[in-house]
Structure 1
């Protein structure tokens, strides 16, 4: 497995960041960038000219992870040559299916399952219900096949997000990449660095990912009770203190990040499912905890690679972590590099949702506010 990385920026144009120049040997290319640049046909045509035989997967983000730091307003390009591993891709248009579950079910039904080692997913982050998508993805797949990836992001939380397969980024697309054979080895990990505080509450009124009431109390009143006076804008307070829903194992909390509040109906939109009857608690974190969790995720992602390091680390972090880290955002990527323990290529983006199993041998979950890492190695 060979990896080539390069980036495009307005000031530097194309800049090569690795020794390999794969050309028509590349069979998979990841392109992560701003919503504007992933829609730029000229830039896409340049990438297609560089890698004429590759499957090109495009996703927007609220920041691009490359070369040990976080970039903005760039195109982050990672080209891969697999020698012995087969990949297969497919794309679902949300306009062609009934709902998010149906989109996932179509992918899991259509993708070839013989010798499938891992399914990587990149999806529109605004038009999708990520929890329903993941349920559909798992509908026709064995639980032994890990699903990792993430939902596209945007610098503007109210703007559209974009993904694409062999085209510029577009809205409403879900991309699946299957990896096949015994020569590909996959590692994964997801860590949040958040801890619960305050009373536990039941969700008593919600619709999918729109939360209205906790213990029959309007969601905004709940937050005001504990946080009013600490923040000028209560919506900012909700972003600083997201909710954690109790996982199936009863020990962990799955993070749910706040997206927006609708004063007309009193509903708070979160990035994942908020089912009625589930217990939730407010969550809190700080810069040190987030950096430690990023390093821990990196360490856990390389555990399967005992004899030699992986060939690539794909990082999908949450845009909500950016909100906390602010000027410390580069330190999160530095923590990943430290945790990986070896100088391997790192790529990724900041998302509206991260997909990975909570732990080994568990089914994949939709996460928020986590650093999620998928590591790849092709065995001889």
Structure 2
């Protein structure tokens, strides 16, 4: 497995990749950006006309131990024994999210599927339903990870990018096939609940209307105090912990407000009769959470990864601000500073719970997916 990383120098004359791109064919191009990548993608399609390209808009790009803004970061991947297939599906409204996930899974399902990497638009796709469609179609296969495209703290437009252009209502799935690739996942948050635990008495899909019979938006504005004037962006600082009697708790972030209907909008379904509790975090707890996600990777195998994809929630960045590099330092301290690292800040993270088991949509976590290609067959 060969990995190279590059940054698009848009202001140079002429614009170019730094360092220069490798020659020859590649197997996969991963691109994350908070800028306009049109020229960069056009350049890539000329240099790698037959290589699958997938990427998305972000709330900040991750390249090694630094977080960038208004940049376009590219990772070029080459495999010796692993096949790669990319599919893109449109999502015809929130209600189509489950079926979109099922359609992606159907196209990529093969006996030797090793891992599925998924990216989706952040405002037009119901992330929990998307993951449910993937899980149901691929069951008992559960090696799925990825992230939800973001738009800073603006919540206006998110984009997926392929060689065919940019898309605002789509899902991209990347299947990795063969018996030589080892993929590990880690995922953890570091947020703490506070305040009363309230029953969800009125919700519809991803819309939350009432908690304990009280307008949820009114309660949010009360608890947020001065932060209420900055909704929905300030909602990233105060996610909800959603829990039921028969499921693992899930952290959900506010992604929008319907002021006319006085309800909160999330990237996942909010089930009635479950419970909701506000959460908050400090920098130390979030850094501890980053270490925990890395340790989950280490516990699965002692092999040094050849590439790591990090997807972290924009809410973590809102809390940590200029200290955000410290969660990337947690990775290098735990797993090694020489590992090529790429990724982005998202509106949602897709990964198995605590790195193993069934895949879920998460908010406010650092999610890590590592790739190592072995010369010998792993399952033989």
TM-score with structure 1 setting the length: 0.91
Count residues with an aligned counterpart. Answer: 373
Aligned to 1:359, the other structure's residue is in SS state helix
Per the TM alignment, residue 117 of structure 1 is displaced from its structure 2 partner at its CA by 1.2
Aligned to 1:195: 192
Aligned to 1:327: 322
* Equivalent position to 2:123, from 112, 121, 126: 126
Per the TM alignment, residue 213 of structure 1 is displaced from its structure 2 partner at its CA by 0.6
1:289 to 1:71, Cα distance in 2 relative to 1, 3 A: same
Per the TM alignment, residue 137 of structure 1 is displaced from its structure 2 partner at its CA by 1.1
* Equivalent position to 1:143, from 129, 140, 144: 140
Describe how 1:332-351 pairs up with structure 2 within 5 A.
Answer: 332-351=327-346
Q: In the aligned structure 2, how far is the partner of 1:280 from the partner of 1:137?
A: 26
1:157 to 1:178, Cα distance in 2 relative to 1, 3 A: same
Q: In the aligned structure 1, how far is the partner of 2:332 from the partner of 2:296?
A: 13
Residue by residue, what CA displacement relative to the aligned partner does 1:36-92 show, whole Å, maximum 9, x if unpaired?
423x1x221212233333211121111100031011111100000010011111110
**Residues 58 and 169 of structure 1 are in contact (CA less than 8 Å); yes or no, is this contact kept in structure 2?**
no
1:338 to 1:167, Cα distance in 2 relative to 1, 3 A: farther
Q: In the aligned structure 1, how far is the partner of 2:237 from the partner of 2:294?
A: 24
Aligned to 2:4: 4
Q: In the aligned structure 2, how far is the partner of 1:78 from the partner of 1:367?
A: 24
Q: In the aligned structure 2, how far is the partner of 1:144 from the partner of 1:353?
A: 21
Q: In the aligned structure 1, how far is the partner of 2:219 from the partner of 2:120?
A: 32
Aligned to 1:114: 111
Describe how 1:151-162 pairs up with structure 2 within 5 A.
Answer: 151-162=148-159
Residue by residue, what CA displacement relative to the aligned partner does 1:80-136 show, whole Å, maximum 9, x if unpaired?
001001111111012499611110111112223211111110111111011111111
Aligned to 2:134, the other structure's residue is in SS state helix
Residue by residue, what CA displacement relative to the aligned partner does 1:297-348 show, whole Å, maximum 9, x if unpaired?
1232243332x30110001111111211111122222222222234100000
Aligned to 2:279: 283
Aligned to 2:324, the other structure's residue is in SS state helix
Describe how 1:62-77 pairs up with structure 2 within 5 A.
Answer: 62-77=59-74
Aligned to 2:32: 32
Q: In the aligned structure 1, how far is the partner of 2:29 from the partner of 2:23?
A: 11
Per the TM alignment, residue 225 of structure 1 is displaced from its structure 2 partner at its CA by 4.3
Aligned to 2:62, the other structure's residue is in SS state strand
* Equivalent position to 1:269, from 255, 265, 268: 265
